[in-house]
């Protein structure tokens, strides 16, 4: 019985959460309109409104209206009417434990809501499912439906469902004995109601906040919210609040207060036809008077309990009779629908037979026409075959022409690239010889200038002239050194051009990328340390241990990795003078399986980063961000060609100015 009472309260509270309080004149007006309304979609909506109106006043009558709405909507194939009537009827069925009928109607309503794209109604249906499975102690399923309702609300911003969602969540967690969580959701519902001036919902919400506090043994908070609920003067709510107060005072041995509130609960429950609350209030009074040895009063309230139980049982019998009548009516409706379907099928068969007779007559006519026009038909058929053959040959010719043009374009492009590579190689070779001459003779000239200075030191020349000659020799030496420096720089550019134009002769072989990356990051670090003793940086490896070996040209991939590591160390070291800054380079590998198996290499530094404008040009030949004399601008271009053209992979860059850069290679 206690379980039944709790379910009834939840049903009543959620109904109040979804609708405004009832006005008695509204029900009379709706019934007058209903009596004059034809069996159409408007009547379905009126029946649904009556269902909601009488839910709190007369659940049996409300359920009758809901079932009538469902049957009429089914006959009219009115999806919206079925959805609304299912929601209203299911609300009552949750309170009367008619779970099978509620489950059937909610399931069909859910299907129709999804079919007709009605997210608001679908949210409400999911909340009803949550309550249904909560009543049946299937909490995992209840929480899944709460999650579905929350996702719809969040994605479509359905603010109207926020309060019912919080209230329903509170009921679910309260039934799960997780009163802290229940209290959280009840308080959210309370805040939303205050914010949106939904004062008619506050009596129910404050009652359940008080009830949750009492479950948590927080008497003072429970009393505060019960009294707050009473102060809102909601007649439908007062009986159970008084009963809650009576229960608290009984548990704390305040017998007089418990009797006082239990009597008020009994009076208000009878006034509002809440027999469940009346039964519990009378039982409470009977138990208290029995403990006080006042057997006369105890017997008096025991008789009230028995009488109310009989009344409740009578209502249950009426409800069961109503359900049986509905099921019978539903069966009759189904039989009627089957008869209609059979009649339509019979009409269809008659139409088919008529069409067959007509077809036979047409065939007879066609036979005579066919006999007279046989030769003409054969000629047309041959012409049609010839036309199809011509069209097929034309399509083949057009496709061949398109393929030929595509191949020509590809050949021309390949030839251009080959010619450009040969031209680049030729120019580079031609420039290399005079560059070698310039470099060699500039070094020789430096040595000659040094010898000349030594010989002049041996001669007796006036000090003034000697100083002048020394200045000239110094300028000459400095000029030769600059010629030598820039000659070597030009030589490195030429070498880069030769590498760009050179076709790789290496063969692909199964290679351990982890080992290759580890080898070259250490090679890069120690190489930079050898060039610059002040250079210092940290490096880290994060390799996928399950990385398989892949077929690559190890020398080419090593060249790419070395170039990227050098750039990363250079970018990090450029900020070494900043306070508390530690240059760091990280290399990591991963094995990707979706959409196809690939190996990913990431090289990350915490250096200066790049702007979007620089990232757009970074793989262009001769483009460099390094100062003059420190980079040729061919390293990343060469790396791009090796990865994309030589190995069919990709190389991408992610960078943020001032934060660092990441190069991502996939092969």
Instruction: Find the length of the chain.
Output: 667
Tens of pLDDT, residues 26-44: 778 888 888 888 999 999 9
Is residue 263 over pLDDT 60?
yes
**pLDDT, average across residues 95-124:** 89
Same domain for 526 and 437: no
Q: Which long-range contacts (CB under 8 A, 24 or more apart) does 488-491 make?
A: 488/439, 489/629, 490/431, 490/435, 491/432, 491/435, 491/436, 491/439
Check: CB of residue 232 under 8 Å from CB of residue 202. yes
C-alpha distances out from residue 296 to 288, 529, 608, Å:
12, 103, 92
527 shares its domain with 495: no
Mean pLDDT, range 48-69, rounded to an integer: 85
Whether 519 is covered by a domain: the verdict is yes
Of the residues 466, 501, 536, which one is the last residue of a structural domain?
501
* Consecutive H or E run containing 152: helix 139-156
End-to-end CA distance of the chain: 70
Whether 610 maps to a domain, the answer reads yes
Residues 660, 607 share a domain: yes
Do 9 and 152 lie in a common domain?
A: yes
Q: Closest Cα to residue 171, out of 205, 220, 123?
A: 205
Q: Which DSSP string corresponds to 439-498?
A: HHHHHHHHHHHHHHHHHHHHS---HHHHHHHHHHHHHHHHHHHHHHHHHHHHHHHHHHHH
507/556 Cα distance (integer angstroms): 10
- Phi and psi of 70, rounded to 5°? -65, -45
pTM: 0.45
483 and 518 fall within a common domain:
no
Domain that holds residue 77: 1-176
Mean predicted confidence (pLDDT) in 134-156: 91
User: What CATH number is associated with residue 132?
Assistant: 1.25.40.10
Query: Cα angle at 322 between 318 and 326, to 5 degrees?
Result: 170
- Rounded CA-CA distance 455/263 in Å is 129
Note whether 38 and 109 are same-domain residues.
Answer: yes
408-457 confidence digits (pLDDT tens): 654 554 455 455 555 565 676 667 777 777 877 788 888 888 888 888 88
How confident is the model over 282-305, as a mean pLDDT?
90
Report, as an integer, the average pLDDT of 641-661.
89
pLDDT of residue 9: 42
**634 or 119, which is more confident:** 119
Q: Are 176 and 139 in contact (CB under 8 A)?
A: yes
* Predicted local distance difference test score (pLDDT) of residue 5: 40
Q: Which of 132, 152, 176 is the last residue of a domain?
A: 176
């Amino acid at each position: 019985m206690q379980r039944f009472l709790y379910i009834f309260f939840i049903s009543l509270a959620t109904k109040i959460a979804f609708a405004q309080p009832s006005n008695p004149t509204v029900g009379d007006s709706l019934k007058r309109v209903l009596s004059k309304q034809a069996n159409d979609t408007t009547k379905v909506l009126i029946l649904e409104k009556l269902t909601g109106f009488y839910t709190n006043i007369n659940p049996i009558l409300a359920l009758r209206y809901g079932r009538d709405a469902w049957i009429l909507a089914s006959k009219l194939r009115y999806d919206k009417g079925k959805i609304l009537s299912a929601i209203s009827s299911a609300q009552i069925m949750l309170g009367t434990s008619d779970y099978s009928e509620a489950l059937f109607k909610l399931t069909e309503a859910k299907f129709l809501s999804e079919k007709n794209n009605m997210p608001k109604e679908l949210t409400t249906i999911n909340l009803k499912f949550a309550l249904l499975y909560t009543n049946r102690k299937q909490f995992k399923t209840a929480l899944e439906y709460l999650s579905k309702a929350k996702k719809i609300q969040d994605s479509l911003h359905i603010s109207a469902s926020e309060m019912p969602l919080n209230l329903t969540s509170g009921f679910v967690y309260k039934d799960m004995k997780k009163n802290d969580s229940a209290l959280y959701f009840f308080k959210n519902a309370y805040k939303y109601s205050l914010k949106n001036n939904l004062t008619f919902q506050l009596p129910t919400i404050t009652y359940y906040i008080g009830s949750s506090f009492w479950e948590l043994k927080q008497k003072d908070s429970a009393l505060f919210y019960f009294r707050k609920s009473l102060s809102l003067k909601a007649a439908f709510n007062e009986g159970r609040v008084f009963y809650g107060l009576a229960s608290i005072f009984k548990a704390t041995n305040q017998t007089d207060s418990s009797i006082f509130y239990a009597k008020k609960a009994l009076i208000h429950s009878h006034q509002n036809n809440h027999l469940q609350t009346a039964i519990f209030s009378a039982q409470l009074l009977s138990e208290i008077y029995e403990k006080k040895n006042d057997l006369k009063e105890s017997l008096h309230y025991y008789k009230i309990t028995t009488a109310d139980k009989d009344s409740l049982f009578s209502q249950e019998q009426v409800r069961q009779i109503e359900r049986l009548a509905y099921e019978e009516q539903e069966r009759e409706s189904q039989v009627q629908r089957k008869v209609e379907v059979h009649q339509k099928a019979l009409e269809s068969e008659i139409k088919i037979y008529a069409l067959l007779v007509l077809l036979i007559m047409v065939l007879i006519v066609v036979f005579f026409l066919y006999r007279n026009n046989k030769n003409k038909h054969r000629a047309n058929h041959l012409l049609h075959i010839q036309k199809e053959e011509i069209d097929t040959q034309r399509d083949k010719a057009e496709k061949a022409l398109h393929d030929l043009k595509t191949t020509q374009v590809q050949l021309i492009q390949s030839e251009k690239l080959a010619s450009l590579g040969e031209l680049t190689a030729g120019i580079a070779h031609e420039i290399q010889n005079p560059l070698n001459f310039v470099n060699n003779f500039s070094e020789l000239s430096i040595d000659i200038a040094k010898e000349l200075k030594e010989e002049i030191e041996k001669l007796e020349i006036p000090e003034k002239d000697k100083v002048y000659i020394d200045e000239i020799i110094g300028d000459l030496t400095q000029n030769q050194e600059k010629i030598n420096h820039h000659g070597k720089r030009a030589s490195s550019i030429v070498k880069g051009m030769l590498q760009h134009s050179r076709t790789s002769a290496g063969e692909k072989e199964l290679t351990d990328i982890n080992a290759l990356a580890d080898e070259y990051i250490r090679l890069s670090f120690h190489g930079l340390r050898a060039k610059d003793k002040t250079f210092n940086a940290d490096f880290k490896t994060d390799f996928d241990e399950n990385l398989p070996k892949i077929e690559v040209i190890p020398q080419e991939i090593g060249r790419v990795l070395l170039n990227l590591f050098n750039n990363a160390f250079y970018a990090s070291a450029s900020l070494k003078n900043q306070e508390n800054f530690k240059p760091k380079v990280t290399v990591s590998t991963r094995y990707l399986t979706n959409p196809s198996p690939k190996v990913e290499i990431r090289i990350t530094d915490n250096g200066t980063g790049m702007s979007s404008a620089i990232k757009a040009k970074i793989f262009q030949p001769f483009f460099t961000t390094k100062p003059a004399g420190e980079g040729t601008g061919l390293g990343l271009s060469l790396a791009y060609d090796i990865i994309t053209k030589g190995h069919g992979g990709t190389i991408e860059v992610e960078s943020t100015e001032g934060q660092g850069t990441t190069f991502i290679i996939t092969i």
